[in-house]
Amino acid sequence: MLLQVALNKDSARQAEKIDARRRRYILSFVSYITSVVMFIYGFKNLGGEVALLPLILFGTGATFLINISYFRWSGNLNLACNIEAVLVGFFVLALVYQGGFNNTALYWVFPFPAILFGLLGVKKALLSNALLLVVLGVMLFIPDIIMADYKEAEASRFIASLLIVIIVCWINDHYRERSHEAMDLLQQSKEVQANTDPLTLLLNRRFIDSSLNINLQQQADAFLPMAVIICDIDHFKQLNDQHGHAAGDAVLRHLANLFRRNLRQQDIACRIGGEEFLFFLPKTSADDAMLVAEKIRQALLDQPLQHGKLALPVTASFGVAGCHDSNSLAAAIEHADKQLYLAKHSGRNLVC
């Protein structure tokens, strides 16, 4: 369970970074490239019959540059994208209202639905584009509320074409997100398999190196203080020699099930060797971990494995240590290992 949570967090963080990078590129493109185009056409239309068009172009280009400058200063990507989307909407409405050069404003609207999807994400962009489409429809089909003079057939074809563009952009972005989610799930499934011991279905040593250490560094408060327990089955080689490897495998699975029943959901159980197990107990002191280890040791005595017609008594030795610092996990594991060595040399079937 904790492995899945850790992988979900890692995957979410990676997805957020990729999405933020994509939105930064779109924000930069709209702010810089589009502003240059607007300034060029603004200068070309200076001195024309209608002074409103260069004002719209210069004003929008300047506000785009102010917004990207704000983003470079503040680093607030979400706010900058929202502001940019509002500016895009105002520009589209103002341009359609004025009509553009020789009444060509409608041709310049079509790139902007895709820009809104890039800036806002699927849900917010769909709502924004729908609102923009409604407002444009009102402007085009109610006479005398705009400066420009569009033919009715031209307006109808424009609205229909724009609706198709919005739908295609929505389909593309919607299924792009679904595809990324499916790929994330596939990657997580592969990670779970790579971090899981196939016999006991417990976590393996790779999990400690690939996930636990990283999460402990990044979220120390969620783990510390943490107790470490090392468990080693007593006389496991002798059991294998007497009863066969099938019996040995059954013992390992029996212990894994017993661990799951006696550990909390947030505790981490790993198989790190043939008959050796390692437990991590977040938010637990070494003294409390001693009680947990004793509980497991006693459960092993009370619940012998039924293997065919045989009842196989199994005992284990335990070493316990505490970890109070995110950089001392290796030292805590080493200390628990020394305590295990002490338990074995003190007669086995002990907690030290």
* Lowest-pLDDT range of 45-54, 105-114, 142-151: 45-54
Catalytic site includes residue 275: yes
Instruction: Using pLDDT thresholds of 50, 70 and 90, give the confidence band for residue 228.
Output: very high
Between residues 227 and 4, the one the model is more confident about: 227
Residue 191 is predicted with a pLDDT of 55
Residue 275 banded pLDDT, cuts 50, 70, 90:
confident
Q: Which of 154, 177, 181, 275 is catalytic?
A: 275
pLDDT at 8: 52
The pTM of this model reads: 0.56
Name 31's Cβ contacts closer than 8 Å, sequence gap at least 6: 64, 65, 67, 68, 84
What Rg do the C-alpha atoms of the chain give, in angstroms?
33
Long-range contact pairs involving 161-169 (C-beta distance under 8 Å, separation at least 24)? 161/110, 162/109, 162/110, 162/113, 162/133, 162/136, 163/133, 165/110, 165/113, 165/114, 166/113, 166/126, 166/129, 166/130, 166/133, 169/113, 169/114, 169/117, 169/125, 169/129
The pLDDT tens digits for 281-298 are: 988 888 998 999 999 999
The residues of the chain that CATH labels 3.30.70.270 are 203-345
Average of pLDDT values for 221-231? 88
CATH class of 203-345: alpha beta
User: What pLDDT score does 176 carry?
Assistant: 73
Phi, psi of 193 (to 5 degrees): -60, -40
Q: Minimum mean pLDDT among 70-79, 91-100, 167-176, 338-347: which range?
A: 167-176
> Which residue is listed with tokens 């060029």?
40
Residue that wins the pLDDT comparison between 227 and 215: 227
